[in-house]
């Protein structure tokens, strides 16, 4: 088996191709986000156009670079070292794009986004764009450059040099270096990764296993998908380093079913790394062995909990186990196991590749380094951004995300999935560090998947949706969880229908207190969102209960649609009226003898004609109390 020096000597042709040293190179970013907007067709059409024009140009697929809002993104590199990014290159534009950029040599055109690493051909550098300049792309540095289905590309970019360096050190030295970086579990716990590895190293069990949690179930988060799809070898490298440091020879990557491309790419990457002798019986030509197995989940949110994940790997239902024993003592099939998130391994691998001194250059004293964040919901630029720890949420939201679209105002931040709660506008001024979030009563910073809400979003509506989701995904072991989430959903749904009662607040508090006795995080934190809503959005919740009014006009039972028939007959609405008649659910399905179904379709098409009104008169007082049981104070 080759050692690292031999391995990197073999990939010289890949290095030349990636750097476009011999001929220009067009690279189309292909990942799940860009495929959704037709990047595969763009790639095929560009290939066709290059061939038709008889150009001597390499056309490659590369991983995505996180700029979801700009997809499909295409990079054109020239032998002089210029690298220019183009955005929104739609499949239909491909032929014209090739003509403009490669034949007519017009670098500045309708698709131009910016030049990477300094201006080129009159195109201003990417760093002129504030959302790009604010980022410190370290983990994401290799994303969007190389083909994730080709291991040699990544070796040419320096992958596995961190593993080679780790293998030249002792286990204790590796753990000391990772601990020195203070990198915390990036799944949301922020438990020091180095210390966790050391637990496994000193655990008396044998054999040991390294487990990667790639079951990123939190809605609105795709940071792990970024790594798996666009830099799979960084994950393999991080896991192999963990395996060496902790004395484990077996690794499992548990990836969720919803990432089919990620599964395909990580499987291929593992296969290729084995074929190159990077992992396997002899890691990079040393005595160390490390095998990796990719396990594909099948759609279960609770498998993202570490013991649920282990149960799922062990041939069965992914129900979280009762602890102790903890995974380090008895994990996958009784092997002592270390479970970390994808980004934890990625970050630890980065530390080993570049050294802890470089890692701690950015970030804060207690949380050095960077973290990847995805932002979605009410933002103008949806995407994945890498920022130093401690950057404020405001900078992420306003600079990277471009603020709320259509003149809306920021209302709330929902960081990291339904279990982590919701925070009002002062959250914008928090530095993104777990300690800052814990001070405010949040569990932690979360896994980096931030969802933004604006003033047109209803907190109660979101709570009901999350509670329903958590009920649906409860594994069913603990009565507190499966019964509690069900009860919470019922109460919220009733409030949304206009049946809110004074006692509901107490009931929800009681549920929150009771759910704490559940076995795993899923139950323990299931009502966090509602508890936060009661604390920080009390006005809005009370308005729903007492005045039966939804200020955002979202709760279906509290609003009604009213058509202004006179306005509807105005000629300027004729087209929209025709379209509304065409898509009216009533007309289409022939349901409910012509009575309006309140289905929203016509309001969407004719917002001025079909308006949303409060269903109930203002200030009606609380709805009649049916059950007068008040829960005891806790």
Partner 1 sequence: MFHPATVRIVGIEMTSYWGAVPQTEAVAKVRNLLEGLQPGEGDLLEALHRIQHHFGWVPKEAIPGVAQHLRLPPARVYGAITYYSEFRETPPPETLVSWCSGPSCFLKGGLHIREVLERMTGCALGENTPDNKLGLHLGQCNGTCDNAPQVWVDGKVVGPLTAADTVDLVKKLKEGQRP
Residue with tokens 């050190």: 169
Rounded CA-CA distance 561/25 in Å is: 55
Please identify, among the stretches 31-39, 364-372, 482-490, 614-622, the one whose residues bind partner 1 according to the rule CB under 8 A. 31-39
Q: Could you say which residues in the range 320-359 bind partner 1, by CB under 8 A?
A: 332-334
Rounded CA-CA distance 316/82 in Å is: 52
546 lies in the binding site for partner 1 (CB under 8 A): no
Give whichever of 365 and 593 is closer to partner 1, judged by the CB atom: 593
Give whichever of 5 and 574 is closer to partner 1, judged by the CB atom: 574
Shortest distance in whole angstroms from residue 472 CB to partner 1 = 7
227 lies in the binding site for partner 1 (CB under 8 A): no
Please identify, among the stretches 390-398, 438-446, 587-595, 621-629, the one whose residues bind partner 1 according to the rule CB under 8 A. 587-595
Among 601, 609, 610, 623, binds partner 1 (CB under 8 A): 601
Query: Pattern 487-526, binding to partner 1, x per CB under 8 A?
Result: ----------------------------------------
DSSP state at residue 191 = -
CB within 8 A of 539, min separation 6: which ones?
none
137 lies in the binding site for partner 1 (CB under 8 A): no
DSSP-assigned letters across all residues of 15-82: HHHHTT-SS-EEEEE-SHHHHTTTHHHHHHHHHHHHHHTT---EEEEE---S-GGGPSPEEEE-TTS-
Give whichever of 83 and 225 is closer to partner 1, judged by the CB atom: 225
440 lies in the binding site for partner 1 (CB under 8 A): no
Whole-angstrom CA distances from 80 to 55, 89, 103 are 17, 23, 17
Residue with tokens 């209803």: 458
Shortest distance in whole angstroms from residue 558 CB to partner 1 = 14
Shortest distance in whole angstroms from residue 582 CB to partner 1 = 8
85 lies in the binding site for partner 1 (CB under 8 A): no
Q: H or E segment at 530? A: helix 528-536
- List the Cα angle 535/469/452 in 5-degree steps: 55
Q: Is 339 helix (H, G, I), strand (E, B) or coil?
A: strand
613 lies in the binding site for partner 1 (CB under 8 A): no
Among 132, 197, 222, 521, binds partner 1 (CB under 8 A): 222
Query: Pattern 357-376, binding to partner 1, x per CB under 8 A?
Result: -----------------x-x
232 lies in the binding site for partner 1 (CB under 8 A): no
Whole-angstrom CA distances from 634 to 278, 352, 511 are 57, 49, 11
DSSP state at residue 497 = T
55 lies in the binding site for partner 1 (CB under 8 A): no
Q: Is there a cis peptide before residue 325, judged by omega within 30 degrees of 0?
A: yes
463 lies in the binding site for partner 1 (CB under 8 A): no
217 lies in the binding site for partner 1 (CB under 8 A): yes
């Amino acid at each position: 088996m080759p050692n690292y020096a031999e391995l990197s000597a073999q990939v010289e042709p890949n290095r030349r191709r990636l750097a476009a040293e011999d001929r220009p190179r067009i690279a189309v970013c292909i990942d799940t986000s860009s495929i959704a907007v037709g990047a595969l067709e763009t790639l095929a059409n560009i290939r066709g156009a290059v061939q038709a024009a008889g150009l001597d140009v390499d056309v490659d697929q590369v991983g995505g670079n996180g700029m979801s809002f700009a997809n499909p993104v295409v990079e054109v590199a020239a032998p002089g070292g210029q690298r220019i990014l183009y955005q929104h290159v739609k499949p239909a534009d491909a032929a014209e794009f090739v003509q403009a950029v490669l034949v007519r040599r017009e670098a500045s055109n309708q698709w131009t986004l910016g030049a990477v690493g300094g201006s080129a051909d009159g195109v201003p550098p990417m760093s002129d764009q504030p959302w790009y300049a604010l980022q410190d792309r370290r983990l994401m540095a290799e994303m969007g450059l190389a083909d994730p289905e080709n291991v040699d590309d990544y070796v040419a970019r320096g992958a596995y040099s961190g593993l080679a360096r780790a293998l030249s050190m002792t286990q204790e030295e590796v753990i000391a270096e990772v601990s020195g970086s203070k990198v915390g579990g990036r799944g949301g716990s922020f438990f020091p990764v180095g210390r966790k590895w050391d637990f496994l190293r000193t655990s008396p069990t044998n054999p040991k296993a390294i487990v990667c949690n790639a079951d990123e179930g939190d809605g609105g988060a795709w940071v792990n998908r970024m790594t798996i799809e666009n830099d799979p070898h960084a994950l393999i490298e991080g896991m192999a380093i963990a395996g060496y440091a902790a004395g484990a020879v077996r690794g499992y990557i548990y990836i969720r079913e919803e990432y089919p491309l990620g599964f395909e790419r990580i499987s291929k990457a593992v296969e290729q790394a084995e074929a190159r002798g990077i992992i396997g019986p002899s890691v990079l030509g040393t005595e160390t062995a490390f095998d990796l197995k990719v396990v594909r989940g099948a759609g279960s949110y609770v498998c993202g909990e570490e013991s649920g994940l282990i149960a799922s790997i062990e041939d069965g239902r992914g129900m979280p186990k009762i602890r102790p024993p903890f995974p380090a003592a008895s994990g996958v099939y009784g092997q002592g196991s270390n479970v970390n998130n994808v980004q934890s391994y990625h970050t630890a691998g980065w530390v080993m590749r570049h050294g802890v001194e470089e890692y701690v250059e950015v970030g804060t004293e207690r949380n050095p380094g960077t973290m990847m964040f995805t932002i979605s919901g009410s933002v103008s630029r949806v995407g994945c951004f890498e920022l130093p720890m401690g950057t404020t949420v405001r900078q992420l939201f306003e600079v990277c995300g471009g603020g709320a679209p259509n003149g809306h105002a920021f209302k709330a931040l929902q960081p990291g999935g339904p279990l982590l709660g919701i925070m009002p506008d002062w959250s914008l001024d928090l530095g993104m560090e777990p300690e800052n979030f814990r001070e405010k009563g949040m569990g932690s910073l979360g896994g980096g998947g931030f969802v933004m809400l604006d003033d047109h979003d209803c907190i109660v509506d979101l709570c009901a949706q999350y509670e329903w989701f958590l009920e649906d995904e409860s594994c069913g072991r603990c009565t507190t969880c499966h019964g509690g989430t069900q009860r919470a959903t019922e109460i919220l749904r009733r409030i949304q229908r206009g049946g809110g009662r004074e006692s509901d607040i107490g009931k929800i508090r009681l549920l929150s207190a009771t759910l704490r006795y559940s076995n795993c995080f899923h139950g323990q934190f299931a009502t966090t969102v509602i508890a936060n809503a009661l604390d920080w959005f009390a006005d809005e919740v009370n308005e729903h209960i007492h005045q039966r009014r939804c200020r955002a006009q979202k709760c279906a039972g509290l609003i009604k649609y009213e058509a202004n028939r006179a306005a509807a007959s105005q000629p300027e609405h004729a087209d929209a009226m025709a379209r509304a008649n065409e898509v009216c659910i009533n007309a289409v399905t022939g349901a409910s003898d012509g009575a309006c179904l309140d289905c929203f379709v016509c309001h969407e098409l004719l917002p001025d004609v079909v308006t949303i009104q409060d269903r109930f008169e203002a200030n009606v007082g609380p709805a009649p109390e049916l059950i007068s049981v008040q829960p005891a104070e806790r």
